[in-house]
Amino acid sequence: IGRIVFRNAVQQKDVEVLAVNDPFIEPHYAAYMLKYDSTHGVFQGTIEVDGDQGLIVNGKKIRFYMEKDPANIPWKETGAEYIVESTGVFTTTEKAQAHLKGGAKKVVISAPSADAPMFVMGVNNKEYKSDIPVISNA
C-alpha cells in the first residue's frame, strides 16, 4: 500500500512528499522497489538514492528514515503534516499516535484498525470531522 500511495502522491501537483519512513528496508532497495513494482509496473519518472539522506524522485529530494518507533521520526523538521501509516504494524490509535509526537498533524492508517474511526470514500466520507487526528481508510 505504501509504495502505491507514494507513487501516486509524487505524481500529484497538489501533494508534496517530503519524507518516507520504512523500518524494514534501506534506501537503495526502496528506490528499486519503487521503480520496479511487480504489480503496478515501472515508475514513469526518475528515482535515485541521495547518499544516506534519502531519495531524489523526479528531481525532488525526499528524506528517508528507517525508524522502528514512529515517535522518533522528525516529521515536523521535514514539514510533513499528513502521514500514511502503511507498515501494518501501527494499526491502533495509540500506536499510530506515535507519529504525532514527531510533529505530524494527521495519520491515516491504511489497514483495518481495531479502534480508529474508519472512513471510506463514497461510503461514509461525509461523516469525517477534521479534528480527528488518527483515522483508518481501509
Is residue 121 scored above 80 in pLDDT? yes
The answer to pTM > 0.85 is: yes
Is residue 130 scored above 80 in pLDDT? yes
- DSSP letter for each residue of 41-106: EE-SS-EEEETTTEEEETTEEEEEE--SSGGGS-HHHHT--EEEE-SSS--SHHHHTHHHHTT-SE
CA distances from residue 119 to 17, 22, 137 in whole angstroms, order as listed: 22, 24, 5
Report pLDDT for 51: 85
Dihedrals phi, psi of 70, to nearest 5 degrees: -60, -25
User: Where, residue-wise, is CATH 3.40.50.720 in the chain?
Assistant: 1-66
**Record: fold of 1-66:** Rossmann fold (3.40.50)
Report pLDDT for 54: 94
Percent of the chain's residues with pLDDT above 90? 97
At 48-104, the pLDDT tens digits run 999 878 999 999 999 999 999 999 999 999 999 999 999 999 999 999 999 999 999
Q: Cell numbers 501494518 correspond to what residue? A: 88
Q: Which residue, 33, 64, 34, 29, is CA-closest to 50?
A: 64
Q: What is the mean pLDDT of the chain?
A: 96
For 42, other C-beta atoms within 10 Å of its C-beta total 8
